[in-house]
Amino acid sequence: MQDSMYSALFGALSNEHRLNVIANNLANVNTTGYKQDQVTFADTFLRFAHDYILDSKPFLRADPLWPEPSVMAKPRLADQYTDHTQGSLRVTGNPLDLALQGDGFFRVQNPQTGEMFLTRNGNFGLDADGQIVDGNGNLLMAGGGPVTVPLSATVLIDHAGNVRAGEQELGQIDVVTVPDPARLEKIGNNLFRAPEGEEEIEAGLAVAAEEAEQMIVRATVNQGYLEASNVEVVTEMVRMIAANRSFEAYSKIMQGTDTIDKRVIAVASKA
């Protein structure tokens, strides 16, 4: 089987994965606080045996002993990452809709497991106990604990994240960041967490705000707003068209290679 078959197969599979990522981005274009995924490619090099052999004394010969190195670059799928750029803000007027302007994440806690997560989705509400929760029932953290709003109280939240109900101070919303947001992993439902093995980051996310002052971000908290997805529909559609055409081109290369192989086999069998 020719090398072109393997190269085209890998190219087709890479573009299939790329299409899946683009489709997921487009499906979440209206998801509050969604951060799009992207893929990157890198060139790898196929070297021949003589590429690793260098003539240490070329001046001893008039002609070169070895042929010139012939290195062929082949693109390979290198990485998939999350783009954490800011999404636009839209007005809702709901006092429990919050949007972050700047770097950082809201810290929420699963009430059953106690596990901490990070999110940019500020679409919050109240549960039966008057605690501020997200759409999945996770508790919004303020000062290391949940926020309980008195019955029928009007909630006011300033740009620093201070929560007030009338004259009563309820706490300051935990807005945190991590040294390298690219290392956060998506776990679904617009939630992020540090990957396994990243003990330093995981410990930082779990401690109370007063124990992790270096992680507190003075981002702006905007009440009555929601952050839109950072997916650009037109850009993603252009990427989808390019990936689809690349997939078709690689498919034709595989078909052409297969046709050539069959002809060679047929000629060899008759010889």
- Top pLDDT among 218 and 242 is at 242
Rounded to whole angstroms, the Cα distance separating 3 from 149 reads: 66
Q: For residue 11, name the pLDDT band (cuts at 50, 70, 90).
A: confident
**Residue 99 · residue 89 · CB < 8 Å:** yes
Beta strands 225-227 and 220-223, pairing class = unpaired
Cα-to-chain-centroid distance, residue 36: 6
Cα separation, 50 vs 3, in Å, equals: 19
Which of the four pLDDT bands, split at 50, 70 and 90, describes residue 25? Answer: very high
Is pLDDT at 40 greater than 70 in this prediction?
Answer: yes
Tell me which residue has tokens 């309980």.
Answer: 148
Q: What are phi and psi of 185, to 5 degrees?
A: -110, 140
Q: What is the pLDDT of residue 47?
A: 62
Q: What is the mean pLDDT of residues 49-75?
A: 57
| Whether pTM exceeds 0.85 | no
Q: Are the C-beta atoms of 136 and 240 separated by less than 8 Å?
A: no
Confidence of residue 67 (pLDDT cuts 50, 70, 90): low
Q: Bigger pLDDT: 7 or 244?
A: 244
Q: Please tell me the predicted confidence (pLDDT) of residue 242.
A: 93
Q: What is the mean pLDDT of residues 190-198?
A: 74
23-30 own/partner pairs: CB under 8 Å, 24+ apart: 23/240, 25/231, 25/236, 26/231, 26/233, 26/236, 26/237, 26/240, 28/229, 28/231, 29/229, 29/231, 29/233, 29/236, 30/228, 30/229
Q: What number is the average pLDDT over the span 213-240? A: 84
At residue 266, the pLDDT reads: 85
Report the pLDDT averaged over residues 124-139. 92
Distance CA 58, CA 232 (A): 56
**Apex CA 72: angle with CA 69 and CA 76, to 5°?**
145
In angstroms, the CA 123 to CA 121 distance is 6
Mean pLDDT of all residues in 36-51:
70
Lowest mean pLDDT of 25-29, 39-43, 255-259, name the range. 39-43
Mean pLDDT of 34-60: 67
